[in-house]
Amino acid sequence: MNLISKIEELEKVSASLEPDPVQRESFIKQVKEFADRFYGNLDDSRTYVKGEADLDKVRVSGQKLSFEEIINLYEDQVASIGINGASGGHLGYIPGGGLFMSSLGDFLADITNEYAGIQFASPGAANIEEAVLVWLKEIFGFPKDSVGNLTSGGSVANLIGLIAARDHHGILGSEIKNCVVYVSQQAHHSILKALRIIGLWGVHLREVSLDENYRMDAQNLAHLIRTDEGQGLRPCLVISAAGSTDTGAVDPLREISQICNSHGLWFHVDAAYGGFFTLVDSKKAILDGIEMADSLVVDPHKGLFIPYGSGAVLVKNRSAVIKSHHYTANYMQDAIKENDFDNPADVSPELTKHFRGMRIWLPLQFHGIKPFKACLEEKLLLTQYFREKLQDMGFIIGPEPDLSVSYFYYPFPNGNENEFNQKLMELIHLDGRVFLSSTILNERFLIRIAILSFRTKISTINKALEMISEALNKLL
């Protein structure tokens, strides 16, 4: 067989990777039917189903499956087990979103397969990413010349922010053991993980104490910094939370920023959960000072209700970020010039990246900002409603929350209170109509409330109350 006939032979087989218009229409119809079924059942289906996925059923054997079989497997092995991330009944951990319009953004981005890492490859995609970042800079009061990146989530965004802090302060080599980093006792573990990944194991890590609302105690921070300076150490970085995971607490950002300013420390704010509440007028005061951060992390897959896979970081010191991430190579000479720093790849460990901007930009453009604001405000009021009703049922509730995370426990007088609340949690998980998660604070077992899904409505909270009441009655 000559070369041409061999190629033609292979082409006949490889052509099946490109469905024809009739097949495309049928596949899209089947996905639409699945979506209709899924959305149609969302209110009535359980938010949490304990169960294991069967690897054998999804094993890649190399043989073909029909599209119908694939959709059935997805429905049976993915969408029906575990926590339903699209459900408004997800009130555990920090819930995600799942806006339908984002899925269409992903669909478009995947069809044209934009290369979003570099301007040269897709100036339009890079521009859309930049447009989202410009909007973020505006709402968080960051200067126009700061830089940003759309990441896969808060963990990678924290990583980028902390790398910038490290490189700005030159915390490398023998400097590491001199440097002091200050974190809230409520810092998310992705912060500690990032410090480890970027080689800052060896810094002095100070856990700043908290006030009665679990916010970082600024007085204690100032005291620790002065003590460390007095001992000849080098305080470098403060990491605050604007909405901690456990309790939703917002640290006193302005006060902390002033302390950072007067001692020359980098101020990193992890607002992965709480940042977007800045869109709600009543929460502007508590988030006051967020604009003073040197680096800021927010998670559109939390407070903007985008599906999982969307974080963002903003950093004021452009050169610190570029210093760590800008690279050129001979094979990139057409695409990246020596002094051209305008590419998403200059601000991120990623070169090739998913065109994430589209799943954020499309819903923002389509819906406008008003429903996002209303939805966030609704979540705050639902938290208030939930707490009031729980209190009526005899639960002890946590302090007035800064945002939409709170907790409760049942004061069990005749026995082990932690054990009682743990059993209550187990019953709630077994029921699964609504999903809640637990934590431990000061050795007390607590059930958390985290209201952030855009699909959580007053009917969801009433369902949660009914479920909790039934579980409680089984134990009393």
Binding site residues, ligand PLP, CB under 6 A: 94, 153-155, 188, 190, 241, 245, 270, 272-273, 299, 311
Q: Which is nearer to ligand PLP, 90 or 395 (CB)?
A: 90
Contacts of 199 (CB under 8 A, 6+ apart): 166, 172, 176
- Write the secondary structure of 376-387 as one string of H (helix), E (strand) and C (coil): HHHHHHHHHHHH
296: left (phi over 0), alpha (psi -120 to 50) or beta: beta
CB of 170 to ligand PLP, least distance (A): 26
DSSP 130-171: HHHHHHHHHHTT--TT-EEEEESSHHHHHHHHHHHHHHHTT-
CB of 155 to ligand PLP, least distance (A): 3
Q: Which is nearer to ligand PLP, 142 or 273 (CB)?
A: 273
CB of 270 to ligand PLP, least distance (A): 5
CA angle centred on 212, ends 208 and 215, rounded to 5°:
45
CB of 94 to ligand PLP, least distance (A): 4
Q: Which is nearer to ligand PLP, 184 or 257 (CB)?
A: 184
Report in angstroms the alpha-carbon separations of 266 from 4, 230, 297, 304: 63, 19, 14, 27
Q: Which is nearer to ligand PLP, 267 or 395 (CB)?
A: 267
Q: Which is nearer to ligand PLP, 195 or 241 (CB)?
A: 241
CB 159 within 8 A of CB 194: yes
What are the two backbone dihedrals, phi and then psi, of residue 352, each rounded to the nearest 5 degrees? -70, 130
CB of 93 to ligand PLP, least distance (A): 6
Asked whether the CA dihedral 336, 340, 342, 344 is positive or negative, the reply is positive
Q: Which is nearer to ligand PLP, 171 or 242 (CB)?
A: 242
CB of 401 to ligand PLP, least distance (A): 14
Helix 218-230 vs helix 253-263: angle between axes, to the nearest 10 degrees?
A: 20
* Termini Cα distance of the chain: 81
CB of 269 to ligand PLP, least distance (A): 10
Q: Which is nearer to ligand PLP, 48 or 273 (CB)?
A: 273
Give the type of residue at 457.
Answer: K
Alpha-carbon gap, residue 465 to 35, rounded angstroms: 28
